């Protein structure tokens, strides 16, 4: 885990068809600032995993490939809350998703995802601009599938001034847990 760490003025590239090439991936981290950074890879632009708190991302360009993703969360035991994220002044250009939160169905961990602010975000031809997916199961059937709904509680998420174009008809997908519905 990493605490009090800043990344600024960095460019990260990988071919868009290269698998598992996340730009920045972090878990169990706190007080991280990422700014003035360009990321275009074959996987997530930025991936935010279990136990990450106090993260500030600003002036970042993402694309091609995936967007800024929280998760996947909830699959394993002993995962920790993800909270206090500010993500602002971002351009997603030609990505498959922009704002994304994904949690496994019927998760082993009962954790909280809370207090996020997404602000001033431009989408250019993004496939799924805003995507909360609490039925994440990349390779069905999932081991957890039969046990029910995600136990990850998503709450206090603010989306402000999100604009641009989406590639799909469905720009905003909110698929929240039936057991722990998204709040506020």
Ligand X SMILES: *[C@@H]1O[C@H](CO)[C@@H](O)[C@H](O)[C@H]1NC(C)=O
Is 97 noted as a catalytic residue in this protein?
no
Asked if 129 contacts 97 with a C-beta cutoff of 8 angstroms, the reply is yes
Give the rounded distance of the alpha carbon of 171 from its chain centre. 16
CA atoms within a 13 Å half-sphere pointing along the CA-CB vector of 167: 12
Interface residues with ligand X (CB under 6 A) are: 4, 6, 33, 91, 93-94, 124
- Shortest Cβ 9–ligand X spacing (Å): 12
Q: 66 or 151: whose CB is closer to ligand X?
A: 66
Q: 21 or 93: whose CB is closer to ligand X?
A: 93
Residues 6 or more apart from 143 whose CB is under 8 A from it?
none
Is 144 noted as a catalytic residue in this protein?
no
- Shortest Cβ 60–ligand X spacing (Å): 12
- Shortest Cβ 99–ligand X spacing (Å): 18
- Shortest Cβ 93–ligand X spacing (Å): 4
Q: 57 or 130: whose CB is closer to ligand X?
A: 57
Lookup: tokens for 100: 């994304």
Q: 21 or 175: whose CB is closer to ligand X?
A: 21
Calpha distance 115→171 (Å, rounded): 22
Residue keyed to tokens 């999100």: 162
Lookup: tokens for 7: 């990344």
Calpha distance 111→163 (Å, rounded): 30
Calpha distance 84→117 (Å, rounded): 8
Residue among 66, 81, 97, 151 flagged as catalytic: 66
Of the candidates 157, 56, 54, 150, which has an alpha carbon nearest to the alpha carbon of residue 99? 157
By annotation, the residues acting in catalysis are 43, 66
């Amino acid at each position: 885990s990493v605490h009090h760490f800043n990344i600024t003025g960095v460019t990260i590239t990988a071919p868009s068809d290269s698998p598992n090439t996340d730009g920045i991936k972090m878990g169990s981290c706190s007080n991280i600032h990422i700014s003035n950074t360009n990321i275009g890879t074959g996987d997530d632009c930025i991936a935010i995993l279990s136990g990450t708190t106090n993260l500030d991302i600003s002036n970042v360009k993402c694309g091609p490939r995936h967007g800024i993703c929280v998760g996947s969360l909830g699959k394993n035991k002993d995962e920790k809350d993800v909270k206090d994220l500010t993500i602002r002044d971002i351009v997603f250009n030609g990505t498959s998703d922009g704002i994304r939160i994904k949690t496994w169905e019927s998760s082993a961990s009962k954790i909280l995802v809370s207090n996020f602010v997404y602000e001033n975000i431009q989408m250019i031809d993004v496939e799924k601009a805003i995507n909360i997916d609490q039925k994440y199961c990349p390779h069905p059937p999932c081991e957890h599938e039969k046990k029910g709904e995600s136990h990850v509680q998503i709450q206090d998420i603010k989306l402000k001034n999100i604009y641009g174009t989406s590639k799909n008809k469905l720009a905003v997908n909110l698929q929240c847990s039936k057991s722990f519905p998204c709040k506020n």
